[in-house]
Structure 1
Amino acid sequence: MANASAKRIAGQNDATIKTLRLGMILPTILSLLLRLIFRRSSLPPSKSSLALYIATFMPSFFLSNYLVRIGSPRRDPTTGTLMTYGEDLSQQGITEWCFDIIYITWACQIGSGAFGEWVWWFYLVIPLYAVYKLWSSLISPMLLGRGAAPASAEDTPTESVSKRQDKLRKRQERGDPRVQARSVRK
């Protein structure tokens, strides 16, 4: 079973790596084509537009190469059997954030070609999200002391009742003959 899982992850990683490699070329070509079709006056791009494009392309390029490096399955050169499947590229956390940055970069590249340079303002989503994650997971709990104690006595649960006990209580309240109230002798 473990071998089947490794093969499945390796296949998913191969498909994702192909998409990453295609994605490093395709947004650039689409951006130039869209500029040619819709915004001929913006050709050739201004120096500031080109500098912005290069400045955002570099993180995308490095993150893409990082994901390709960690996710590439390694196979035996002679037999072609799977040796290691690499890291799972569909996992949450840092890998997911790398993909988010890459996808936002691609969207901004294509959008700037079609609609103009104002689309690059959407790139600010990345640092804003980073600040939000820092605030919600690190800064806010330290400053506000969340998780230390409940705010009031009303927030604390008084009694834990299982689903079965709750169901039996409701039946008893309806007068269901299957449930009989028994008094406990001490």
Structure 2
Amino acid sequence: MAHGAAKRIAGQNEQAIRVLHLGMFLPTVLSILLRLLFRRGSLPPSKGSLAIYVVTYLPALFLSRYLESIGTSRRDPTTGAIVSSGQDLNQPGVMEWCFDILYVTWVCQIGSGAFGEWFWYFYLLIPSYAVFKVWSNFIGPMTGWSSDKSTEESASEKSTLSKRQEKLRKRSEKGDPRARTVRK
């Protein structure tokens, strides 16, 4: 059973690593081709454009190498059997955020080639989302300022009543004679 799961994870990781390899190469080529087709005046790119590209490419390169190193499965050289499937690259959380950063980078590279340098403003989605997550998960709850107060109050009310008590309360609201209130 565990060996089957290791094979499944190794297969999924190999596919994700192939996508990473294509993703590090293909957006660069597409960006250059789109510049040639639609924006000949932007060739050669300005120093600012190249600086933006390099500054965003370096974190993408770092993340892709990181994901590749932790997701690569190790196999026995003699038998070819899986020794370690690597970490699951499909797990939620940090892995998912790494892929999100890579996808936003690739979209910005292609978009800047097709539409212009203003497309790099979409890259600001990454720090905006990070600020949102830090605020909603850490700073907001510590300061007592949360946007989910009404849902928290209703959830706390429902959690104090058992299912049976909730059922009896609903029956008594409807006027059902089976829901008698016991007076002491």
TM-score normalised by structure 1 residue count: 0.83
Corresponding position of 1:11: 11
- Match in the other structure for 1:104: 104
SS of residue in 1 equivalent to 2:157: coil
Q: Once the 2 structures are TM-superposed, how far is the Cα of residue 61 of structure 1 from its aligned partner?
A: 0.2
Match of 2:167 in 1: 166
2:21 corresponds to: 21
5+ residue gaps, structure 1: none
Match of 1:20, as an amino acid?
L
Residue aligning to 1:127: 127
Q: Which amino acid aligns with 2:51?
A: A
| Matched positions, count | 175
1:56 match: 56
Q: CA distance change for structure 1 residues 109 and 155 in 2, over 3 Å: closer, same or farther?
A: closer
- Quote the Cα distance in structure 1 between the aligned partners of 2:118 and 2:24: 22
Partners of 1:48 and 1:76 in 2: CA distance = 48
SS in 1 for 2:121: helix
Aligned residue type for 2:45: P
- Shift in alpha-carbon separation, 1:41–1:127, aligned structure 2, 3 A: same
Gap regions ≥5 residues in structure 2? none
Equivalent residue number for residue 78 of structure 1:
78
CA RMSD between the two structures: 3.0
Note the C-alpha offset of 1:57: 0.2
1:47 partner amino acid: K
Share of identical aligned residues, percent?
A: 56
- SS of residue matched to 1:77: coil
Query: Within 2, Cα distance between the matches of 1:154 and 1:75?
Result: 53
Output the TM-score relative to the length of structure 2. Answer: 0.84
> Residue 160 of structure 1 aligns to which amino acid in structure 2?
L
More helix by share: 2
Q: Which structure has the bigger radius of gyration?
A: 1
Moved over 2 A (4+): 153-163
Going from structure 1 to structure 2, the CA distance change for 1:14 and 1:162 (only over 3 Å counts) comes to same
| CA apart distance, 1:181 | 8.4
Between the aligned partners of 2:24 and 2:156, the Cα distance in structure 1 is: 52
